[in-house]
Amino acid sequence: MAKVILEVQTRGLNQYHRLETFPVSVGRGLDNDVILSDPAVSPYHLRLEQGEGDALFLHNLSQENGTSMNGHVVGLQPVRLPVPSRLVLGNRRINVLAADTPVAATNLLKFSGFFSALSNPVWATLLVVLTALGLFAESYMSTFLAKGVWYYLSDVLLNMAVLFAFALVLSGVTWLVSHRWTLVSAVSITALLALLKSVFAVVGVSIAYFVSSSAPSDFLLAFYNLVFVALMLYLYQRWASYLRPLPAIGLALLLSSPLLVLEGLDWLDQVVMQGEFSNEPVYDQTLSSFNLHAAPTVSLENYMQQASDALPSQVEE
């Protein structure tokens, strides 16, 4: 007696049906042995029969969307069904497997480690508070004129709303691929990315001031947008959704694609405006109480001489 397994591929967790007695009818009708609720599947789509020597035969009954086996369209005449095989019924994919087919290794639940801490509500709350404080400080430091508290809070609330919206999208994507809600860990990873962006900005500005060039700051920002965010989302999907490497890479690139597009547009603007006039000087104007520079500063006399040579008609002696 042939014992085969029908693996019905669905979003998230697949469905499995053990077939031990034949014939077996498959379709959308409720009186079938295997019921598929896909609207593209016919009410009575196909029938599996057993022949001599435990040989299996497939009889296609659908005249609407039909059936394909291993990439070949099946006609109305019964055909031999090898095991394993892949069937396509309308939009639904079905694998015909032997009962002794080995399964993938068990995913070990990680109850400790960095990403496991992100699922802790306490750590999530702490990261959100630190991110809000960092955004408040960044808004305060980037404002040249003194403003009221509500001016800075409005900017912080807007950024926090975007943060929670992205966390909700990330949690929804995780539910689609794993059927598990991970809202707490999604909020944690999103807040962590926002907090680390502020850290990257502070480090980049400090290095830029030290070397008197904006290149380090631009490099760190590009690295954050192009590589770091995608890498963190890849590791998060590997941990939260137990995705394999290739699907996790694709999902991470999809989620980080807005940053990739913005970085590409910014690079294109820099290329276009490279030879154009700009009201921003090429040197770094960031102030620091430490006054640390890798190169000696230019004296006032040399600076005025350079300015006179560059703009002789606009510099008054």
Confidence (pLDDT) at 300: 73
For residue 51, the SS3 value is coil
245/125: higher pLDDT: 125
For residue 118, pLDDT beyond 60: yes
| Dihedral sign (CA 293, 299, 302, 304) | positive
Domains of the chain: 4-98 (2.60.200.20), 114-272 (no CATH)
Confidence (pLDDT) at 290: 56
| Dihedral sign (CA 251, 255, 261, 266) | negative
For residue 268, pLDDT beyond 80: no
For residue 126, pLDDT beyond 80: yes
Confidence (pLDDT) at 271: 64
Q: In what order do the strands lie in the sheet with 92-98?
A: 15-19, 4-8, 92-98, 85-89, 67-69, 72-74
Find out whether 58 and 76 touch, Cβ atoms under 8 Å: no
Closest of 119, 97, 121 to residue 109, by C-alpha = 119
Cβ-Cβ contacts under 8 Å for 226 (sequence gap 6 or more): 259, 260, 263
Q: What is the number of other CB atoms lying within 10 angstroms of the CB of residue 213?
A: 16
DSSP state, residue 44: T
Tens-place pLDDT, residues 139-186: 777 777 777 778 778 888 888 888 888 888 888 888 877 777 778 888
- Mean pLDDT, rounded, of the chain: 78
For residue 1, pLDDT beyond 60: no
For residue 2, pLDDT beyond 70: no
> What is d(CA 248, CA 164) in angstroms, rounded to the nearest whole number?
22
DSSP state, residue 220: H
Confidence (pLDDT) at 148: 76
For residue 316, pLDDT beyond 60: no
> What is d(CA 235, CA 239) in angstroms, rounded to the nearest whole number?
6
> What is d(CA 224, CA 192) in angstroms, rounded to the nearest whole number?
13
Quick one: pLDDT band at residue 253, thresholds 50, 70, 90? confident
Quick one: pLDDT band at residue 315, thresholds 50, 70, 90? very low
Tens-place pLDDT, residues 17-57: 888 888 888 888 888 888 888 888 888 888 888 877 778 88
> What is d(CA 216, CA 222) in angstroms, rounded to the nearest whole number?
10
> What is d(CA 227, CA 20) in angstroms, rounded to the nearest whole number?
51
Percent of the chain beyond pLDDT 90?
A: 0
Which tokens belong to 135? Answer: 């955004």
> What is d(CA 170, CA 118) in angstroms, rounded to the nearest whole number?
14
